[in-house]
Amino acid sequence: MASKGGLAIGDLAARTGLAVSAIRHYETVGLIAPLRNAGGHRRYGRADIRRLSFVMIAQRLGFPLARIAEVMAGLPEGRPPTREDWAGISGAFRRDIDARIAALASLRDKLDGCIGCGCLSLDRCALYNPADRAGQRGSGPRYLMGDAVDG
Amino acid sequence: MASKGGLAIGDLAARTGLAVSAIRHYETVGLIAPLRNAGGHRRYGRADIRRLSFVMIAQRLGFPLARIAEVMAGLPEGRPPTREDWAGISGAFRRDIDARIAALASLRDKLDGCIGCGCLSLDRCALYNPADRAGQRGSGPRYLMGDAVDG
DNA sequence: GCTTGATCTAAAGTTAACTTTAGAAATTAC
DNA sequence: GTAATTTCTAAAGTTAACTTTAGATCAAGC
């Protein structure tokens, strides 16, 4: 492992638990920008471990990579990010999480009400309130609130 | 619109707000099983509106179609489901939702703590606690993180 | 110095949940 | 009884987040 010139992608993978292919993918979507050595191999620095850590946390919280990249664009370019930098960008996530929790709780309560009364009909059910139905457009997978559900 | 022999797929789409293509897709994944008329066109009954309603609600709650199909397999085959039938299967979702809310709240608190203290490091951060990491799906070897890395 | 082993790039495959397209047949409207 | 509309099937396209594959090059161990 090259330690003076930075970590090789395999080393970074071992440290973060991510797959090498995943790290390369994060680069293509703009989450990290490693240097290259003479032979064209990627070399990562200490700050990159932290960046990936943050990506992993944000993902667990249910944020798509595009959103994470957006938020991480707020980190400084030249210098390594400080604790304050991280705290700043995580604030944006906090607000999102709080909103998602509230939405989930509200839906749960409505589910109870609707199923309980047996309405389950489009004209009256609170769950169908059009005002509630946020952006439901486009194709591809829908990212709904909360963590991934597994059976 | 054919009303005596059941609803046509377009009528059902109009009533539920779903796209015709989506309804057909739900059939291929086993969520509904309409009859066919002499010409081979799908005919839906009143119970199908309710089934789709439930699917839409469950989806908004973040459940994948496969899971919804699993749960809906608990509905009766021969007779139309009663309110009790629906209440029974929605109970499974309720428990899931409550768990997800709790998980989100816990993650939010840990995010506050971790970012606040600036640790964001694999060895100590509560967010990396392997015990917390529930559904890690997908293929490929996922390492469990635990190796001390950097302070 | 040679043989592994790691990395490189680019492209294609995967899963979920659909949509879009294409050509044909059934239904409805007038 | 046409013309217009709807529906049919099957296949391919879309998005997100990756993984897999293939062929080539770089780096490391002995």
Show Cβ contacts of residue B65 under 8 Å, excluding neighbours closer than 6 positions: B26, B29, B31, B55, B59
Q: Which residue of A has its CA nearest to B60?
A: A144
Q: What DSSP string describes chain A? A: ---SS-B-HHHHHHHH---HHHHHHHHHTTS---EE-TTS-EEB-HHHHHHHHHHHHHHHTT--HHHHHHHHTTS-SSSPP-HHHHHHHHHHHHHHHHHHHHHHHHHHHHHHHHHHHT---TTT-GGG-GGG-----SSS----SSSPP--
Contact at CB, A146 and B118, closer than 8 angstroms: no
pLDDT digits (tens, 9 = 90+) for A70-108: 888 888 877 878 878 888 888 877 888 888 888 788 778
pTM, 2 dp: 0.74
Give the percent of chain A with pLDDT over 90: 32
- In this complex, the residue of A21, A53, A150 whose CB is nearest that of residue B122 is A53
Least CB–CB distance from A87: residue in B107, B115, B141: B115
Taking a C-beta distance cutoff of 8 angstroms, is the pair B45, B32 a contact?
no
Nucleic strand D near CB of residue B42 (< 7 Å): yes
CA A2 to C1' C18, whole Å = 46
Give the residue-averaged pLDDT of A108-122: 65
CB-neighbour burial class of residue B66 (10 A; exposed 0-12, middle 13-18, buried 19+): exposed
As a whole number, the mean pLDDT across chain A is 76
Q: What pLDDT was estimated at residue A114?
A: 67
From the CA of B103 to the C1' of C29: give the distance in Å. 56
Residue B15 has pLDDT above 90, yes or no: yes
Residue found under tokens 């990290």: A32
* Tokens 């946020």, residue located: A134
> What are the strands, taking DSSP E only, across chain B?
35-36, 42-43
Token pair recorded at residue B95 = 């428990």
**Residue A4 pLDDT:** 62
**Neighbouring residues of A32: CB distance < 8 A, sequence distance ≥ 6:** A23, A26, A44, A48, A51, A52
Residue of B nearest to A101 (CA): B101
- The reported pLDDT for the residue numbered B119 is 59
Q: How far apart are CA A76 and CA A96, in angstroms?
A: 22
Q: Half-sphere exposure of residue A54, counting CA atoms within 13 Å on the CB side?
A: 28
Contacts of range A86-90, beta carbons closer than 8 Å, 24 or more positions apart: A86/A50, A86/A54, A86/B115, A86/B118, A86/B120, A87/B115, A87/B116, A87/B118, A90/A54, A90/B111, A90/B115
Q: Which of B7, B100, B119, B144 to mutate to test the interface with A (most CBs of A within 10 A)?
A: B100
Name the pLDDT band for A139 (thresholds 50, 70, 90): very low
Interface test with B, best of A115, A127, A129 (most B CBs within 10 A): A115
Query: What is the percentage of chain A residues whose pLDDT exceeds 70?
Result: 72
Q: How many CB atoms lie within 10 A of CB A145?
A: 21
Of A112, A121, A145, the CB nearest to B53: A121
Whether B108 shows a pLDDT value over 60: the answer reads yes
Average pLDDT of the residues in B54-61: 84
pLDDT at A141: 45
Are β-strands A35-36 and B35-36 bridged in parallel, bridged antiparallel, or unpaired? unpaired
Tell me whether residues A115 and B90 touch, CB distance under 8 A: yes
List bases, strand D, within 7 Å of protein CB: 6-9, 13-21, 25-28
Q: How many angstroms separate the CA atoms of A126 and A106, rounded? A: 10
Given A87, A112, A148, which is nearest B116 (Cβ)?
Answer: A87
Q: Which of residues 79-98 of A touch strand D (CB under 7 A)?
A: none
CA closest to B143 among chain A residues: A17
DSSP notation for B104-136: HHHHHHHHHHHHHHT---TTT-GGG-GGG----
